[in-house]
Structure 1
Amino acid sequence: MTDSLLKNKHLLWRAGFGVGINQVDNLKNKNIKALINELCKEDSFDEITYDTPDIDPVMDYMNTTTPADKKKEMQQVYRDQNNELNLNFLNKIVNSKEQMREKMAFFWHGHFASRVNNPKFSKQLLNTIRKNALGNFKDLLFEVSQSPAMLNFLNNQQNKKDHPNENFAREVMELFTMGRGNYTEKDVREGARAFTGWSYDKDGNFKERKNLHDEGTKTFLGKTGNFSGTDVLNIILEQKATSQFITTKIYKFFVNENVDHNIVNTLSTNFYNSGYDIKKLMSDIFSSSWFYDQRNIGNRIKSPIELMAGIMRILPMHIQNPENLIVYQKLLGQMLLYPPNVAGWPNGKSWIDSSTLMLRLQVPQIWSGLRPLEYSPRQDDDIDMGMKSKETALNKTFKNPNITIDWDRVDKIFAHKNCEDYLIQNVQSLDMNSVKDFSDKSIKMNIINLMSTPEYQLM
């Protein structure tokens, strides 16, 4: 395998969701700078939305006065809309030419983790994150912090003068910006006072309710004044700890779980000095020579979405029942727009346990129609989605995605190529004899068997 093929493939997995079927032919001759520019390119922004009509008039099914049948109807509409958002985001991840934008959006949607029932709020937050994914972290932080999804998820409507709720202020510092150890409990209390009155109206527009805002003097991160929420976010962005925290998290996600502190310190300083320019930070990472060191290649376990998207990008497929892809997300432990909690998804080895590993290795065979799906969601799963027991979960809601793969096209593209060079990151650790033993020598079986190896789980 050529050196440039190895590097290009690594870049496509880290800055996007793997090699697309259209990229196979000229991948080994592609100049890395040209590929980075291609990945960075942003076309005119288009929102992800859903087609299921909204319920009219808007009513709150949490409201005790709403009749039971109306609540049920509303819950069903919400579920349909949220499922549509999920699948439309997955579709962008798989098919968008703007792979780096969607990869960064995927990262940020785990970083600014929020889980609200209201699809309108979810849609707004998702598009805020996608729009600013490669923009400026300050804009991203402000827009996310003022989104109804986040204000709702972190209880900031309950944050009023004389009765501050600290949840929002705490998570903004601990999870979104500075990380633990860089602020005190007093900063949390004073920050919460500054965010009093941050809320939104019934249409989901941000609103500062002046009558609920604490106008008193606050001391926050060593500064004193009559601070508002805006002041607090600006003070947080002045802290070098914020740049350090974000850069470290990006390095762990895009480069290596084992942090090289010298590299991260340099990146972090440059990120801070650029005024938090995300695209510049990502370009610095992807165009540096250390990014392509052997120790950074094939060392990350693909998250379930990365695994699914990678298969969908390289195998041209028609999916009859896409809604069942949500079942796979659930079974594998990562549902888009539905993080387990405010800290988002844990990465790395946490993706693999005895049940998920077996399913991961079998997805290529199941999707190719070579074996049935024999799994049901874990019972302790946080993501119950209204499915009550294992039996009903599978019997009632489960149909196979009914996938038809265009193997003729795959045959043409991979004729006279080593499939493993395009599918596996660290080919030297692969036992090709065992792959070929299970194969009938066809390109189709070779690819399915390669995708069913432990090596394919790594990127």
Structure 2
Amino acid sequence: MQLEYLWALRLGFSTREAAKIRERGIKGFLQDTYDTPYPDTLPGFLADEPKTLAERREFQKRNKGASQEERQMLRKKEREVFFKMKTWWVDRMRKSEYPLREKMTCFWHNHFVASWRKVKENYWIYEHNRILRENAFGNYRELTKQIVRSNAMLKYLDNHNNKNGAFNENLSRELLELFTLGIGNYSEEDIKNGARALAGLGFGDNGKGVYRKKTAYHETVTYLGKTGRFRADDLVDIIFEQENTPYFITEKILKWFVYDEPGEELVKHYGDYLKSVDFEIAPFFTRMISEEYDKPNAGRKIKDPLVYMLQLTDELHAGAIDNPTIAVFLARQGMDLFNQPNVKGWDGGAAWLTSQLFLQRNKMADALSTGKYYAANPIAPGRNGMKRIDVALDWDRKDNNKQIIKDLAGRTLFQVNDTLENDMETILTYDFDPQKTNADKAVLRLFRYIAKTPEYQLI
């Protein structure tokens, strides 16, 4: 696979950005991503959602006084808005000028998990997502501070129930275990004292939690070796003074973008640099990607469902496939947006390619390669059913079968062995005539075969 195609897939969701990488170079491409403005307007489907605490109280009051049928309708509307939010994000991923920002947002979304299945507040989930996007390439320490105080996270990890004399340790524990240091780099006493410092931090307006004096803990605590009267931001500052803080996140970023199993030396190398730039993600990310760019590291990562599906639709120019169907496919593949199964998030790696999930992928490749798919929309079941769309591949009609195979494989397969090459030449034979009326169908058959190979699942 040519480098610009490989890294377009790793830094986005398809090979669409390959030309930009080739023209600007990898560092120029990354800088363009950081610098390019992105739309940040409130989606219309959230217009009627409660946003302030006063609006939320009014909604809860109205819900409490409603009949059972009315409450069911309200819950149905909430679920519909939530699904629209999924399709809104899929649309951003498909249409973004620089999809790397959305991919990095998705990384943070799976790092700072706040799942809708528990939060069930659409506007708070949106605010959480907006914070991640805004700070995607900003400072890791400052992002952590914002997330810890976000309403979605406070509800997801029960900190609104964390009060002086009745402490809840969920947020304190995950702040250390899953968000920053990782297991083995703190004590149970640190968790208990962290919970004390976080007591009284509850929901607030503008997406930012506030401390309530009556339920806060006002005594000193000792946290990771430091003693004082600490609040949430203080805890984060202390965490980021610890020796092991840069390595936990470095390993996760390497896994998300390059290697399912990065070596310890790489983690140490890039983690040291992250610390040297004071946890600024943009310079760290530029160094990591530019150093890894030319290395022979293709095929070290299994495509997640997003990359698989959006590459498939882009290669086939299948823009007509609707966003709800893509959102449903992602959920069936185990990548349910805004709705991870637990606080650890999606496992990734080999978990993306069980035999059942591989079969689902192959069925989708079969369907789209023949210009049809089953539309699925849980909030508009009347639109469900088999749909037909036009599909086409980019290929040069002046080329013979070997050149077409080489070009197509060069942007879709991380490697081609003799067996694979022989199979492809059996499908697109030596006497292939690119001028014949059925030539497009023959090339589509070739792509259909490629998209179902194990090699296609790797980048």
What TM-score does the superposition give when structure 2 sets the normalisation length?
0.85
Superposed, which structure 2 residues align to 1:140-151 within 5 Å? 140-151=143-154
1:81 equivalent in structure 2: 81
The answer on whether the counterparts of 1:61 and 1:74 sit within 8 Å (CA) in structure 2 is no
Superposed, which structure 2 residues align to 1:322-341 within 5 Å? 322-341=323-342
Q: Which amino acid in 1 is paired with 2:213?
A: K
Measure the CA separation in 2 of the matches of 1:62 and 1:306. 42
Are 1:293 and 2:287 matched, yes or no?
A: no
Cα separation, partners in 2 of 1:274 and 1:113, compared to 1, 3 Å: same
Cα separation, partners in 2 of 1:53 and 1:430, compared to 1, 3 Å: farther
Further displaced range: 161-170 or 442-451: 442-451
Are 1:10 and 2:6 matched, yes or no?
A: yes
The answer on whether the counterparts of 1:325 and 1:401 sit within 8 Å (CA) in structure 2 is no
Are 1:273 and 2:276 matched, yes or no?
A: yes
Q: Which amino acid in 2 is paired with 1:308?
A: M
Q: Which amino acid in 1 is paired with 2:423?
A: S
Measure the CA separation in 2 of the matches of 1:373 and 1:250. 34
Further displaced range: 326-335 or 424-433: 424-433
Q: Which amino acid in 2 is paired with 1:404?
A: I
Q: Which amino acid in 2 is paired with 1:14?
A: R
What is the CA deviation profile of residues 275-294 of structure 1, one whole-angstrom value per residue up to 9, with x for unaligned ones?
11101111011111x44322
Further displaced range: 234-243 or 323-332: 323-332
Measure the CA separation in 1 of the matches of 2:250 and 2:235. 21
Q: What's the CA shift for 1:193? A: 0.3
Further displaced range: 310-319 or 233-242: 310-319
Are 1:49 and 2:43 matched, yes or no?
A: yes
The number of aligned residues is 434
Q: What's the CA shift for 1:18? A: 2.6
The answer on whether the counterparts of 2:260 and 2:302 sit within 8 Å (CA) in structure 1 is no
Measure the CA separation in 2 of the matches of 1:435 and 1:338. 39
Measure the CA separation in 1 of the matches of 2:39 and 2:321. 28
Structure 1 residue ranges (4+ consecutive) displaced by more than 4 angstroms after TM superposition: 26-30, 55-58, 61-66, 202-205, 369-374, 395-398, 411-417, 438-441
Superposed, which structure 2 residues align to 1:182-197 within 5 Å? 182-197=185-200
The answer on whether the counterparts of 1:299 and 1:458 sit within 8 Å (CA) in structure 2 is yes
Structure 1 unaligned spans of 5+: 377-384, 388-392
The answer on whether the counterparts of 2:362 and 2:451 sit within 8 Å (CA) in structure 1 is yes
Superposed, which structure 2 residues align to 1:130-279 within 5 Å? 130-201=133-204, 204-279=207-282
What TM-score does the superposition give when structure 1 sets the normalisation length?
0.85
What is the CA deviation profile of residues 401-459 of structure 1, one whole-angstrom value per residue up to 9, with x for unaligned ones?
8462452x735699665211111122347703324545676332222322222211111
Cα separation, partners in 2 of 1:11 and 1:55, compared to 1, 3 Å: closer
The SS at the match of 1:318 is coil
What is the CA deviation profile of residues 308-342 of structure 1, one whole-angstrom value per residue up to 9, with x for unaligned ones?
12223333233364322222112211111111110
Q: What's the CA shift for 1:167? A: 0.5
Q: What's the CA shift for 1:198? A: 0.9
Further displaced range: 114-123 or 29-38: 29-38
Cα separation, partners in 2 of 1:27 and 1:144, compared to 1, 3 Å: closer
The SS at the match of 1:224 is strand
1:431 equivalent in structure 2: 420
What value does the CA root-mean-square deviation take over the aligned residues? 3.1
Q: Which amino acid in 2 is paired with 1:426?
A: Q
Further displaced range: 152-161 or 251-260: 251-260
The SS at the match of 1:219 is strand
Superposed, which structure 2 residues align to 1:357-396 within 5 Å? 357-369=358-370
Cα separation, partners in 2 of 1:187 and 1:274, compared to 1, 3 Å: same
Q: What's the CA shift for 1:126? A: 0.6
Q: Which amino acid in 2 is paired with 1:110?
A: N
Measure the CA separation in 1 of the matches of 2:421 and 2:170. 52
Q: What's the CA shift for 1:104? A: 0.9
The answer on whether the counterparts of 2:313 and 2:319 sit within 8 Å (CA) in structure 1 is no
The answer on whether the counterparts of 1:105 and 1:130 sit within 8 Å (CA) in structure 2 is yes
The SS at the match of 2:171 is helix
Q: Which amino acid in 2 is paired with 1:49?
A: P
The answer on whether the counterparts of 1:95 and 1:313 sit within 8 Å (CA) in structure 2 is no
Are 1:19 and 2:10 matched, yes or no?
A: no
1:453 equivalent in structure 2: 453
What is the CA deviation profile of residues 89-139 of structure 1, one whole-angstrom value per residue up to 9, with x for unaligned ones?
112222212222111111111111111221101110011101101111122
Measure the CA separation in 2 of the matches of 1:401 and 1:11. 34
Further displaced range: 232-241 or 33-42: 33-42
Are 1:410 and 2:406 matched, yes or no?
A: no
What is the CA deviation profile of residues 196-247 of structure 1, one whole-angstrom value per residue up to 9, with x for unaligned ones?
1111147744222122110011011001111112211111111121111111
Q: Which amino acid in 2 is paired with 1:128?
A: I
